[in-house]
Structure 1
Amino acid sequence: MVRLVLPNPGLDDRIPSLQELETIEKEEASTRPKWDNKAQYMLTCVGFCVGLGNVWRFPYLCQSHGGGAFMIPFLILLVLEGIPLLYLEFAIGQRLRKGSVGVWSAVHPTLKGVGRPLPGHLGGVGSFDLKRLQLLQLIVPQQRIRRFVSLPLMCLIRSWARPGLAALSPPRLPTPSQAVYVTSTLPYLVLTIFLIRGLTLKGAAAGIAFLFTPNVTELANPVTWLDAGAQVFYSFSLAFGGLISFSSYNSVHNNCEMDSLIISVINGFTSVYAATVIYSIIGFRATQRYDDCFSTNILTLINAFDLPEGNVTQENFAEMQRWCNATDPAAYAQLTFQTCDMNSFLSEGVEGTGLAFIVFTEAITKMPVSQLWSVLFFLMLFCLGLSSMFGNMEGVVVPLQDLKLIPAKFPKELLTGLICLGPTSWAFIFTYAGSIPLVIIAFCESDTVPASASRFNKDIEFMIGHKPNIFWQVMWRVVSPLIMLVIFLFYFVVEVSKELTYSVWDPSYEEFPKSQQVGYPPWVYVVVVVVAGVPSLVIPCFAVYKFIRGRCRRPGDQQGLVSTQSTASVNGDLKY
């Protein structure tokens, strides 16, 4: 691969040598926070990586791309794209001991824009989870319905208040690092409970069989591979900045290679495990709808021909249809029967939040003690969003501290409060601000660090005891950048040719209660260009700025941006 090698003066001044690194770590032992133990660090990373996308986006993509056939490209790209980039972010954060902006500023002054974080869209999801929990009642009084409009706002405030208060809490209260013991493990407990319950329901086996039965023709569809590559980014939370910040608090000699492998295995397992749980419930829902459909057809036939109840069943329905048609063809011709197809009910997909808030909840309402299962399900979603928001906050706070953009006397309560107000609005903002910019940032990461292969290999050897093997070298230098380039080009072509639409529930729609796809107004296309383009343009803009500044620099001026270690605490005590 052809690489553009930029002049990099002052690199040794910005990055401490290997001999200095251990000395710096000892000097920072009393001032710079570290993880209390390895389990705390791993659970935090798992909570940040394993999120809502594993629970609802992955099952939906499996449903849309041939069931088990989607798992094949997903697992392949997880190995070729996800694990190498995760290892890369862990290694560079641990080596340089800075946040995302500080890391890339140290690598090269023109790369400061690569560390531009993309913080959380998950607060909005957490607010919906709280709203659903508040509305789980047998009877909702009319006066409370009038307050429905204000509920999402209040729940949004509360969903972001939790990680904000956790980051500000004094030592006697739970902090983010302590909260991960609950937020990262509770979803697995709830999923296991749902799996046990789901396997006892009628139709669960049909749903699981539908999930793992591959439609191999989907493997020839480029969109399947495109969605699989995008799902790897979402499920690993790559290029968000949080993983780099988390690894910067590790010991210099922590085995970041093993960490990346363990978290990757957990991530892939969680996606498949969550899909199995979801489809056991979806199989139950599809079976219920299949039985209801047949019951309606049976009732239609019984009423039309005045047949005794119990004489017509699902097993002899086709035979009874033929008998009725032979008995009175004119009367039979006037009857209208619904089409009852189990595969159609199983393949009815609802994207994104619809899978959680429509399909899954519809199945829960038909389960015994539905309120209990509803509370467990939305509590799980809330914990998944909460643990991811901790990482999003860390991805913003640490770069702000590294760059010294916040005055030393700036109240830390106000700082975290402003961060918790982050962008949690429209679906298209999440779709476009969290797609193209992420791929571009990750591409720059994979194409920049291994460019200095000799030095980077020595750094990793110093940290973990051996150099990266040939697999990592090939992935970082060739395969991962090439995959991301292909994903970017295909994604750009697909999205440019697609009309932007959103779903609405309109009673006047002829297929109501199905949602209707309505096109966005023209001005939204301008907004999409802005939200997708601004984060992407930060990288070249900073590069041009630093180039011009370097040309105009007076003799004696300092070259480089960040020379101090990050002091933003993972335990909620923000230092300046």
Structure 2
Amino acid sequence: MAQLHDQEQRKDAETCGRDYEFESLPPVVEAPGEIVVRTVTQREQWSSRLDFVLSVAGGFIGLGNVWRFPYLCYKHGGGAFLIPYGVFLLGGGIPLFFMEVALGQFTAQGGISCWRTVCPLLTGIGYSSVIIVSMMSINYIVILAWTLFYLAHSFNSNLPWASCNNTWNTPNCLEDTMRRNLTAGNMSAIYNSSLDNYVSPVTEFWERKVLDLSKGMEEVGDLQWDLVLCMLAMWVIVFFSIWRGVKVTGKIVYFTATFPLLMLVVLFIRGVTLPGASEGIKYYLYPKLEYLAYPQVWIDAGTQIFYSYTVCIGVMTSLGSYNKYDYNCYRSCVLLSCMNSGTSFFAGFAIFAILGFMAQEQGVSIADVAESGPGLAFIVYPKAVTMMPLPSLWAVLFFIMLLLLGLDSQFMHVEGQVTSWIDLHPELMRKGYRRQLFLALVCCINFCLGLTMVTQGGIYVFQMFDYYATSGVVLLWVAFFECVALAWLYGVDRFYLALEDMLGFRPGPWMKWCWMVITPSLCLSCFIYSLVKFKPLVYNKVYEYPPWAQTLGWCMALSSMLCVPVYALLHLLLAEGSFHMRLKQLLEPRIKSPQRGAYLATKAMEQEGTLPEKVIMQTAL
């Protein structure tokens, strides 16, 4: 009897399994009763649930949690900012995050082919996401190169950005200790001019030593060879960390995902013990409800959610595709969402405690020292450590934390990028060392493109990438079409059936209503407002980008955004048959609702060693 039951399970596995299509052919509507034979290529999976959780946590708990959220919270009304942040978190961030992970797990495919599977007409979503993450990885590695450069100089007993007696300093350099005395009123006859004419050694180290800043994009200048070597070292680390696949990467993140959080706790403890820390935390959290009337506060809250949750760039879909089919990704997504937003909130205490100390030491307001982005990491915090006992120790700990936070995110960016391309032709790319060779090619191309950002004019190129190519506008565009594709074209009820089959239970109706109404409405309204209120790019509030540079920036943004409508239009024009038939074919999903029993039977065959490397799955329609 047991033997008969096993035979029936194996038969179910062969006839009712997950119906994947890896071919890059247009969808075909089969006639009733036709037998379709398809080949399933074996796919790598996470070794354990913890591998997936830590990989995702490392991927989206990154630099933005440390240097962007705390500043936005302070800038937009302190504790009041948590209201729009919570609205976008519950109405956009968590639903999109869960949708992408679950979609990857359901289809077991990367960021491009998953959309071709559920809605061929909008496959351009996947191409758009991959272009965005490709540009993001080029941009992100430069930050890691800067961080490594600072870390290497942090091991000196005398930090090079603490004094004005270096070769790169100018006569206008004024050490912060002397500036503090002058600010207090102890004006010497030597310093009889305004303090505005003087420059901090931290600023000169950043602009004259690290960047060797030119006057604008018109002056590209020479390569900064120190930064070139740092960027090369970062790409080598990224390559060897992910070249063996997710089974190895999942073990590396045990250290790279947890150690930065430990360092953040250490910096928090150190920060709150400094004089003036309470004032900094007060500025960070004190609620100013009148700020809720400003639309920009809500827009910044929405874009911060999309940045910090790493959605709309194909990464979460690719990571979810390595899950087992019956993995409870819903529970993990809720846990990871709490971890992500909690880390952002906690990081604000550590950062603003130190900013409060700086403001008290310099005798200025917190508004004069608060910065976001690279300004916080490479100017404000390096200046803060020079005012502490054991400055070299705290500099090393801070930059190690930044380096590991950034490396985790870079691992996932490149993994998502590579997985998305490989899953288009798995039968070709998953043989031998072809994946490793393709990964090496991607790293080399990205390294060469990144060289434009480590020249004397590289910071202008870096900011242009950040402002246009990976901006909140392009993420909102992709998020809107993701909701349209899954909730309206594929069908939210159909996807809920798949979720129930995978998870063993049916999620509550909140996700359904978010995917159908709330999330696309939030995305569309923010997208329109961002375009209406768009301002041309300006560097450091002084340098205005020339028209040709702004045009180039918009071309980079449109290179990803236009993938969605252009792909749909081309396939509608090239398909055969009447318009109605073409549209029907391109809206027909390429995956049928799987059956949990068939999956369990297949897993049993794998454990017994009776499952061949390639299983022919015959589906009777």
Q: Does the pair score TM above 0.5?
A: yes
CA displacement 1:25-51 (0-9 Å, x = unmatched): xx9999421111111110000111111
CA distance in 2, matches of 1:249, 1:56: 31
CA displacement 1:110-155 (0-9 Å, x = unmatched): 2211012122232111111001012222276869999983111111
Q: Which residue of 2 aligns with 1:21?
A: 18
CA displacement 1:434-477 (0-9 Å, x = unmatched): 12221111111112112212211110110112223221121111
Q: Which residue of 2 aligns with 1:132?
A: 150
TM-superposed deviation, 1:347: 5.4
Q: Is the 8 A contact 1:60 1:355 kept in 2?
A: no
TM-superposed deviation, 1:349: 3.2
Q: Which residue of 2 aligns with 1:483?
A: 522
2:235 aligned with 1:150: no
- TM-score, structure 1 as length reference: 0.77
Q: Match for 2:480: what amino acid?
A: F
Q: Which residue of 1 aligns with 2:72?
A: 61
Q: Match for 2:400: what amino acid?
A: L
TM-superposed deviation, 1:548: 1.9
SS of corresponding position for 2:18: helix
Q: Which residue of 1 aligns with 2:141?
A: 123
Q: Which residue of 2 aligns with 1:201?
A: 274
Q: Which residue of 2 aligns with 1:363?
A: 384
Inter-CA distance 518–49: structure 2 relative to 1 (3 Å threshold): same
Could you tell me which of 78, 87, 103 is aligned with 1:76? Answer: 87
CA distance in 2, matches of 1:203, 1:370: 18
SS of corresponding position for 2:542: strand
2:434 aligned with 1:434: no
Inter-CA distance 281–70: structure 2 relative to 1 (3 Å threshold): same
Q: Is the 8 A contact 2:487 2:516 kept in 1?
A: yes
Aligned length: 479
Q: Please, which runs of 5 or more residues in structure 2 have no aligned partner?
A: 1-12, 22-37, 161-165, 169-204, 213-223, 454-461, 592-612, 615-621
Could you tell me which of 477, 490, 494 is aligned with 2:533? Answer: 494
CA distance in 2, matches of 1:45, 1:76: 23
TM-superposed deviation, 1:217: 1.1
SS of corresponding position for 1:175: helix
- Where do residues 437-456 of structure 1 align in structure 2 (5 Å cutoff)? 437-451=474-488, 452-456=491-495
Q: Is the 8 A contact 2:279 2:356 kept in 1?
A: yes
CA distance in 2, matches of 1:139, 1:251: 49
CA displacement 1:154-212 (0-9 Å, x = unmatched): 111111221111223599xx932211011111111001001111111101111111111
CA distance in 2, matches of 1:199, 1:282: 11
Q: Which residue of 2 aligns with 1:415?
A: 438
2:272 aligned with 1:233: no
Q: Please, which runs of 5 or more residues in structure 1 have no aligned partner?
A: 1-15, 291-341, 504-515, 564-574
Q: Match for 1:240: what amino acid?
A: I
SS of corresponding position for 2:543: strand
Q: Which residue of 2 aligns with 1:52?
A: 63
Q: Is the 8 A contact 2:85 2:298 kept in 1?
A: yes
CA distance in 2, matches of 1:130, 1:562: 46
2:236 aligned with 1:161: yes
Q: Which residue of 2 aligns with 1:397?
A: 418
TM-superposed deviation, 1:260: 1.4
Q: Which residue of 1 aligns with 2:496?
A: 457
SS of corresponding position for 2:112: helix
2:326 aligned with 1:253: yes
SS of corresponding position for 2:370: coil
CA distance in 1, matches of 2:256, 2:483: 31
SS of corresponding position for 1:238: coil
CA distance in 2, matches of 1:64, 1:170: 41
SS of corresponding position for 1:190: helix
CA distance in 2, matches of 1:23, 1:392: 25
Inter-CA distance 63–488: structure 2 relative to 1 (3 Å threshold): same
2:548 aligned with 1:523: yes
Identical pairs, percent: 32
CA distance in 2, matches of 1:212, 1:231: 17
TM-superposed deviation, 1:218: 0.8
2:46 aligned with 1:32: no
Q: Is the 8 A contact 1:133 1:378 kept in 2?
A: yes
SS of corresponding position for 1:269: helix
CA distance in 2, matches of 1:440, 1:37: 34
Q: Is the 8 A contact 2:355 2:369 kept in 1?
A: no
Q: Is the 8 A contact 2:153 2:159 kept in 1?
A: no
CA distance in 1, matches of 2:261, 2:493: 41
CA distance in 1, matches of 2:552, 2:237: 30
CA distance in 1, matches of 2:273, 2:543: 40
CA distance in 1, matches of 2:59, 2:332: 14
Could you tell me which of 535, 544, 547 is aligned with 2:572? Answer: 547
CA distance in 2, matches of 1:266, 1:170: 25
Q: Which residue of 1 aligns with 2:559?
A: 534
Q: Is the 8 A contact 2:268 2:350 kept in 1?
A: yes
Q: Is the 8 A contact 1:102 1:562 kept in 2?
A: no
SS of corresponding position for 1:20: coil
Greater relative CO, 1 or 2 (CA 8 Å, sep 6+): 2
Q: Is the 8 A contact 1:68 1:212 kept in 2?
A: yes
Inter-CA distance 17–429: structure 2 relative to 1 (3 Å threshold): farther
CA distance in 1, matches of 2:109, 2:146: 34
TM-superposed deviation, 1:262: 0.7
CA displacement 1:228-269 (0-9 Å, x = unmatched): 000000000001111101111111111121111111101110
SS of corresponding position for 2:323: coil
Q: Match for 1:150: what amino acid?
A: W
CA distance in 1, matches of 2:569, 2:504: 38
Q: Is the 8 A contact 1:126 1:159 kept in 2?
A: yes
CA distance in 1, matches of 2:121, 2:19: 28
Q: Match for 1:523: what amino acid?
A: W
TM-superposed deviation, 1:73: 1.0
- Where do residues 342-361 of structure 1 align in structure 2 (5 Å cutoff)? 344-346=365-367, 348-361=369-382
Q: Match for 1:154: what amino acid?
A: L
CA distance in 2, matches of 1:30, 1:223: 48
CA distance in 2, matches of 1:18, 1:203: 69
Q: Is the 8 A contact 1:54 1:271 kept in 2?
A: yes
Q: Match for 2:115: what amino acid?
A: W
- Where do residues 314-325 of structure 1 align in structure 2 (5 Å cutoff)? none
CA distance in 2, matches of 1:91, 1:347: 44
Inter-CA distance 29–483: structure 2 relative to 1 (3 Å threshold): same
Inter-CA distance 561–470: structure 2 relative to 1 (3 Å threshold): closer
Inter-CA distance 390–286: structure 2 relative to 1 (3 Å threshold): same
